Structure 1
Amino acid sequence: MRAALAALLALGIIGTSASPALARPAAAVPAPAPAPAQEEGTDGSGPVLVLAPRESVIRENTDLAFEVLLRNPGEDPVPGGRLELRISAAPLRDAAALDAAPPSATLRLAESTLGETAAEGEQLATVSVPQAELPPLSDAGVYVVEGSFVSDAGDAGKEVSLSGTTSLVWRSPGAAAGGTAGSGEGASAASPGLRLAVIVPIVLPSEIRTLPTRRQLEEIVPAWDELLTRARAQEATLAIDPRVIAGIRAYGADVPESASRFLTRLEQSTLPSFLLQFADADPAAQAALGYTSLLAPSSLDFVSRFGDFEPSTPSPTPRSGTPKPEDANGSEAAGGSSASDDAASGAQEGSGSTDATPGEEGEKGDDDAQDGTPSRPQLPSLDELLSWPQGLAAAWPANGAVDSETLALLRDSGLSTVVLGSGNVEGSASRGRIERSEALVTDDALGAAARAALAGATEPERAAGAAELSSRLALAASGGSDPVLLGLDRGAVADASEPAAVLDLLASLDWLSPAPVSALPEGDIELRAGGTDESRLELLRAAAARESSITELGAVLVHPEYLSGYQRARLLDLFATRYADAEAEFETVAAQFRERDSELLGGVRVISTEHTQLVGSSTRLPVQLRNALPFDALVTVEVAPSSAALAVEERRFADVAVAAESNDRLLVPVRSRVSSGESGIVVTVSAASGDPTVFTSTLPVTIRSSFETIALWVLGVLAALLLGFGTWRSVRRRAAGPGGAE
């Protein structure tokens, strides 16, 4: 219930502080029946009340404080009114009670008054309950807190009734029964404790679509360093996006010092780790599309060309289970991505996403000679950039999407271990074997709560997620559960302002003890087949089909591998598991990707002009070339007349350089054979070798060479008249003599 409320909560806070009028604790009585919810709230468009404790665990001699957020997305203001907080009279028995209706027997915690909430606005209030005024909660455990808000009648004479729930841990789980709030009897000694294993992803923010720039690395590395430190304390298993490793190695000696130190620290870490698929691409979606091998990057030279490398670098041994960089099902198996990280142009694609830009490094386009002669050092190979020999041969598909085809694809790709969500299996064990694959099973409920604690856009959202995570772990500990596995959401960790915050929370819970994944006991589990949304598959299939058309255009580039590597990196990002969530708005992402593909398909072409007139018998006709690709092009341009009315003196222009995403002008000498008429020139653009041809078009030309003859006659007549008039005037002056001027 709290997860659903957190999902409904909008971003932003318009803060107003409430001054609570605290009431004395009351005896346990049934909670009053809540007033009917506002009618428009039934479809999620009405006001929403979110409640969260400031501290998810209430210890000895601690006051309670709650953050209350009232959001009003409607067009009418919500009148002010009365807010009441009540707590369940007894602790919950198990985690299932967290998802059930609030208990009927409750104790009153506090009352407060909230002011009016403006239309399309929010207000934040804090309600405090001093320790001395807490209800007599005798047993340690997890309690539900319900907030009820009833507005005044307002101008329309209609009340607004809202409710929200949260939970908190009263002392630690397993405390001796009969202890009181101020007794000083700690719970940790009596708690059976819970062993918790954690998978911590190290991934790039969602705004980076291929590889990061040096500037972006400097911004991201501090958060990665802190995350790695907290992961060591939790004995966690690391799930690493290969772009993190390749993105640091791609700059060679030019990489920021902080990034180089982080990579060294990561390589020397004793924590177990495995590589995600490049860009955290989803193997389940690839299996659903019928791929026979996992997609992999084809080249990263489009970024590593900016690095500084030694003349020769020994090639490290690729890690076990690394898929080969060949296409799945041929070159048609991959396509573009949603909002690409354009490592060559710096163009922005999609709302809020920015590209890894060489422009930020003081460069744009290729760093090679414009005359077509490449000049660059030996760049590291793909295996050198992606090598991770210490990694486990494991995969982590999108949560709940794995079926037998996915497992078969992973095994065929050399990946014998798969991470699944608990909703994707039958059974309660956190480790087992399914169809000849070893399976690690993460707890979906814990993962959702941790995601809310990380990804909440406001403090109440994050506090609500932390409270739910603490409550579920406390209930698991008090129930004597077997060790459980928590997999942190990759999208939430990638974009969280403080990705290590949830690990700090786990470290503060004294009833938890860290455990490695290898300590999880094996049990009997069976696969509960999942699936990938069909609309997402159709969009991925369409994007994949466009890849071959785009990569063919690489023939006109100085380095064709730049475009193929760039497009494959975009595709893998489009397959990312973060887009598998139903709330990810994948249709919007795919539309942005398709728009970028349309730009790339422009390739190198001639900009057509509507009115080109030839007013002389011969001239140099300008032809505008446009390079829509993010890398420098080297093309051959051939020109031919469309009729006998024109003669083209030079028909072939070899090695014409057009910089990345820019225009260039070519002057074509032409001569007219008629005085007037309509004709044109046929312009063909092809690769420097002449094949393939990427563009052919006819530029219309209007011939008006007779205008030149008429203009010459007019000028001649005018010159003759001026000469004659001047001669006549001089003769008259001489004939008049000295006094003739007057």
Structure 2
Amino acid sequence: MVADSDSAHRPALSAAACSAVRPARRRQKRRIRRPFTAVLVGFLTLASLIFAPTPSLRPASAQTEMGTASSATTPADTVGITVSPRDSSELSPGQDLLLTVAVHNNTDADIPVGRVDVYLADLALTTRAALDSWLRPSADTNSGDQLVSVPTAGIIPAGAGTTVSVTVPAESVGLTDQNAWGARGIAAILSADDVVRAEGRGTFVWSQGSAITPVALTTILPITTPANATGLITAKALESYTSSVGLLSRQLDAAIDAPTATIAIDPQIIASIRVLGTAAPASALAWLDRLAGASNDIFPLSYADADIAVQAQAGAPTLLAPTSFDPAIDASLFVVPPSTPAPEITTDPTDVPSVTSRTKAQTSPSPTPSPTPTVEPGQTVIPSTSDLLAWNYTSTAIGWPAAGQVARSDLDVFAASGLTTTILSSGNVEQSDVFTPNTAVTLPTGLGLVSDSPLSAAIRAAAEATTDEEWRVNVTEAASLLAIVSAENPDSARTLLVTFDRSSPATATRIGQTLTALDGAAWSTAASLQSALAATPATTVTFQAEAIDGSRVTLARSLLEREGALAEFATILADPVAITAPARLDLLALLDTTWTAQASVWEDQVRASLAASFDLMHAVTVTTRGPIIVVGSKVDLRITLNNALDQAVTVRTEIVPSNGRLVVGETLETIIQPNSAQAVSVPLSAAVGNGDVVLRVTLFTLNGTPLGQPAPIDVSVRADWEGVGATIFAILVIGFFGFGIWRNIVGRRRERAAEASAAAVEPAIPAAEPDV
């Protein structure tokens, strides 16, 4: 389709209207079409393009997911003005153009009585780029041909606003059956005291009843909760979210009211309600029943909406999923009450076909049901992990990563995890054709659905509008975009995909109103998820690999490595699931896609989680004493094993000497009771030689994984002191007894010598002579 060149598309004013608006038109055109100003602006624009850094080499259709949507919000200290169709974005021949012009005076000065001049763009807006340039001009550009001029009702006080209703007669619009149908640009200029105060731009769609090929519009609405660091939503939070004005209630209200909208739900919500058993809030159970009764197509997000792209880029071979909910289940909440029918046995979600529509499920023959076990009143029935996660999904093979952050290798991880369809944003593809392609594209590992970023941005802005005026501006832009797509290649039916943002779901309160308005246009029709999946893949769109910020991937990799270490540590428990299952749920919660909007908070949460797991893995320790002296050939070394967990653990104790002066006995396997200490004795044998030895005491799991760092014990070995002492004692004993014997011998010899001396002296003594 080409732009109109026939003068029939230009408006014609009555003589009275011309005389009233001609001076204003001359002033406006003098203001806009000054040659020197145009040359200067062109030069400055060219200079900025040459010297400014280029933000992206992709076309406009390949920019970020949010894009840029028009808004009625007026910046501070400025005067803002918006113009939009009053009732419908469609205008047919013979109809008056009914407009609403809203003025916002955010300055600190009053605006005197003035006028609002309404203009029609010279040419039809036949391309998406032309529409964007009209609504968001980069310079002071031509506003087109003036249609009418309407005075303002009075002074507009500082900080206040006013609304002006404008009616442009059909003959003044100047469009006829000869003008091609499509989007048209309108502008409103506020002037006061011959000074232009503000200019606003809008659009409408000219439709003269010609044959139109409507664009099929598929919409995906996420149902999620705010990011949290834990893997289950508390009962208190669920009660708040599912109240009549709660977050989840508002999201479900919008999805049920939206024409053929597809729901992408976080399975964490379903599991968090079911795991509470009879303690689940009544409002949460009612909300779950409403979801079950919805006619929308439904597919699951990753648990806790964990970003599947960051999982893949952090090194996960397959995508993560919950392993068990048993540690979170209170058995007393699952007692079968009297006169309650037996619970229905649910199927494992992994057994559900990759794409299963409700229509097919209704027409296909039902499988033979397996016999239901008899459950007696008062019996406790604990649900399994598959029971808590099971749902009648339309498809379980769709992956939705964060916008514009999918790498080539991620697709292999998605496919290995059973996801054959990936939802991409425009930032992950490149387009080689000028025409808008189908949402479906062929990826190296399966099918891709590409969301239309500019269209999604306009519809999101309309759904999040806080005023009727803001809603009209944005819904009209969305309608104009769809009209351009329909008219640019009328012989080709297209299916487009619109996604809503998961980071701010609470603000989208006009989803149903917006989608109903677009579905009512002749050039747009609501389509189901199955229509998008069945659309012919576009041949002019190719996958463009992107990557997540390195710091975020590094932290995510730390979380994955930490989980592996926790799994090894948990083998010391009789029931490792008590540690591994909550750790997996918390890990998934920390990978929630909505954390990307809170980078600094997320980093703090990750570091806190890593620190907590470090403390957990050091809850089993060994206490030693030293230095000690070993003076015997065999001694027993006593050490103390500590268990700060609330569950018994089984560990192996291994003692390794630094040299061969000591020989350590066999490794000990010890059971340590919960929250207690256990003393154990380790036999040591002294080898030949004396010296110092360092014993390194290490605790291991039964699989051989060390628990913490080794605890050193300094030992001084004096292995020969026992032999030396015995020798000295023997010498002393022998010396003592030898000395006694020697002394006895010497004493006897002395006695004998004395006796012999006495016997020899006795004959030599003469006899005494008698007295005379």
Q: Smaller-chain TM-score range? A: 0.5 to 0.7
Aligned to 1:420: 424
Task: Determine helix, strand or coil for the equivalent of 1:500.
Answer: helix
> CA distance change for structure 1 residues 575 and 221 in 2, over 3 Å: closer, same or farther?
closer
Task: Determine helix, strand or coil for the equivalent of 1:143.
Answer: strand
> CA distance change for structure 1 residues 256 and 537 in 2, over 3 Å: closer, same or farther?
same
Native 8 Å contact 1:319 1:388 kept in 2:
yes
2:498 paired residue among 484, 487, 497: 487
Q: How much has 1:253 moved relative to structure 2?
A: 4.0
Counterparts of 1:458 and 1:642, CA distance in 2? 76
Aligned to 2:256: 229
Task: Determine helix, strand or coil for the equivalent of 1:32.
Answer: helix
Native 8 Å contact 1:192 1:477 kept in 2:
yes
Counterparts of 1:254 and 1:398, CA distance in 2? 34
Native 8 Å contact 2:276 2:333 kept in 1:
yes
Aligned to 1:523: 538
Native 8 Å contact 1:86 1:146 kept in 2:
yes
Is the counterpart of residue 537 in structure 1 residue 563 in structure 2?
no
1:408 paired residue among 395, 406, 412: 412
2:163 paired residue among 109, 126, 142: 126
1:575 paired residue among 591, 611, 622: 591
Is the counterpart of residue 33 in structure 1 residue 32 in structure 2?
yes
> CA distance change for structure 1 residues 322 and 429 in 2, over 3 Å: closer, same or farther?
same
Counterparts of 1:79 and 1:550, CA distance in 2? 66
1:131-170 CA distances to partner (integer Å, 9 max, x unpaired)? 55995252554233445678999xxxxx9x9866543224
1:620-699 alignment, distance < 5 Å:
687-688=674-675
> CA distance change for structure 1 residues 401 and 653 in 2, over 3 Å: closer, same or farther?
closer
2:556 counterpart letter in structure 1? L
Counterparts of 1:640 and 1:456, CA distance in 2? 67
Native 8 Å contact 2:183 2:205 kept in 1:
yes
Q: How much has 1:282 moved relative to structure 2?
A: 1.8
1:89-488 alignment, distance < 5 Å:
89-100=122-133, 102=137, 104-108=142-146, 124-131=161-168, 135-138=172-175, 141-146=182-187, 165-170=200-205, 175-176=207-208, 187=209, 190-205=211-226, 210-211=232-233, 212-218=237-243, 219-231=246-258, 233-234=259-260, 236-257=261-282, 259-267=284-292, 271-301=296-326, 304-305=329-330, 308-310=333-335, 316-320=346-350, 379-388=382-391, 390-392=393-395, 393-427=397-431, 428-456=437-465, 462-479=471-488, 480=490, 482-488=493-499
1:230 counterpart letter in structure 2? D
> CA distance change for structure 1 residues 558 and 473 in 2, over 3 Å: closer, same or farther?
farther
Native 8 Å contact 2:429 2:542 kept in 1:
yes
Native 8 Å contact 1:289 1:537 kept in 2:
yes
Native 8 Å contact 2:555 2:606 kept in 1:
no
1:232-285 CA distances to partner (integer Å, 9 max, x unpaired)? x32x43322212322332233444455435434544555443211112222222
1:521 counterpart letter in structure 2? T
Native 8 Å contact 1:79 1:152 kept in 2:
no
2:101 counterpart letter in structure 1? F
1:445-474 CA distances to partner (integer Å, 9 max, x unpaired)? 211222222345666655443232122112
Native 8 Å contact 1:89 1:137 kept in 2:
no
Counterparts of 1:50 and 1:514, CA distance in 2? 32
Counterparts of 1:570 and 1:71, CA distance in 2? 46
1:478 counterpart letter in structure 2? A
Counterparts of 2:455 and 2:332, CA distance in 1? 42
> CA distance change for structure 1 residues 556 and 147 in 2, over 3 Å: closer, same or farther?
farther
Aligned to 2:752: none
1:354-413 CA distances to partner (integer Å, 9 max, x unpaired)? xxxxxxxxxxxxxxxxxxxxxx96642222111235442111122222232111011100
Q: How much has 1:303 moved relative to structure 2?
A: 5.5
Counterparts of 2:583 and 2:192, CA distance in 1? 55
> CA distance change for structure 1 residues 567 and 483 in 2, over 3 Å: closer, same or farther?
same
* Equivalenced residues, count: 526
Aligned to 2:63: none
Is the counterpart of residue 51 in structure 1 residue 82 in structure 2?
yes
Native 8 Å contact 2:219 2:497 kept in 1:
yes
Q: How much has 1:87 moved relative to structure 2?
A: 4.0
2:264 counterpart letter in structure 1? A
Native 8 Å contact 1:166 1:467 kept in 2:
no
Aligned to 2:121: 88
1:535-614 alignment, distance < 5 Å:
535-544=551-560, 565-580=581-596, 584=597, 586-594=598-606, 596-597=608-609, 600=612
Task: Determine helix, strand or coil for the equivalent of 1:502.
Answer: helix
Q: Considering only CA atoms, is the larger Rg found in Structure 1 or Structure 2?
A: 2
Listed as ranges, the gaps of 5+ residues in structure 1 are 1-22, 154-158, 177-186, 324-375, 606-634, 644-650, 659-684, 696-742
1:503 paired residue among 478, 495, 515: 515
Counterparts of 2:299 and 2:430, CA distance in 1? 25
2:346 counterpart letter in structure 1? P
TM-score, normalised to structure 1, is: 0.58
> CA distance change for structure 1 residues 268 and 53 in 2, over 3 Å: closer, same or farther?
same
Is the counterpart of residue 63 in structure 1 residue 98 in structure 2?
yes
| Structure with the higher helix share, 1 or 2 | 2
Q: How much has 1:58 moved relative to structure 2?
A: 5.3
Task: Determine helix, strand or coil for the equivalent of 1:308.
Answer: helix
Listed as ranges, the gaps of 5+ residues in structure 2 are 1-19, 42-47, 53-74, 337-341, 354-378, 432-436, 628-639, 648-671, 679-698, 700-706, 710-772
Q: Percent identical across equivalent pairs?
A: 24
Task: Determine helix, strand or coil for the equivalent of 2:217.
Answer: strand
Task: Determine helix, strand or coil for the equivalent of 1:130.
Answer: strand
> CA distance change for structure 1 residues 248 and 220 in 2, over 3 Å: closer, same or farther?
farther
Counterparts of 1:422 and 1:247, CA distance in 2? 34
Q: How much has 1:195 moved relative to structure 2?
A: 2.3
> CA distance change for structure 1 residues 377 and 93 in 2, over 3 Å: closer, same or farther?
same
Counterparts of 2:192 and 2:419, CA distance in 1? 57
Counterparts of 2:170 and 2:405, CA distance in 1? 49
TM-score, normalised to structure 2, is: 0.56
Q: How much has 1:475 moved relative to structure 2?
A: 1.7
Aligned to 2:70: none
Q: How much has 1:486 moved relative to structure 2?
A: 2.1
Native 8 Å contact 2:422 2:449 kept in 1:
yes
> CA distance change for structure 1 residues 290 and 66 in 2, over 3 Å: closer, same or farther?
farther
Q: How much has 1:565 moved relative to structure 2?
A: 4.6
> CA distance change for structure 1 residues 536 and 150 in 2, over 3 Å: closer, same or farther?
farther
1:284 counterpart letter in structure 2? A
Of residues 94-103 and 299-308 in structure 1, the stretch that sits farther from structure 2 once superposed is 299-308
Task: Determine helix, strand or coil for the equivalent of 1:513.
Answer: strand
> CA distance change for structure 1 residues 203 and 528 in 2, over 3 Å: closer, same or farther?
same
> CA distance change for structure 1 residues 522 and 593 in 2, over 3 Å: closer, same or farther?
same
Q: How much has 1:546 moved relative to structure 2?
A: 5.5
Q: How much has 1:594 moved relative to structure 2?
A: 4.2
Of residues 432-441 and 275-284 in structure 1, the stretch that sits farther from structure 2 once superposed is 432-441
Q: How much has 1:88 moved relative to structure 2?
A: 1.9
Task: Determine helix, strand or coil for the equivalent of 2:450.
Answer: strand
Of residues 481-490 and 454-463 in structure 1, the stretch that sits farther from structure 2 once superposed is 454-463
1:45-71 CA distances to partner (integer Å, 9 max, x unpaired)? 985847363756155556311344566
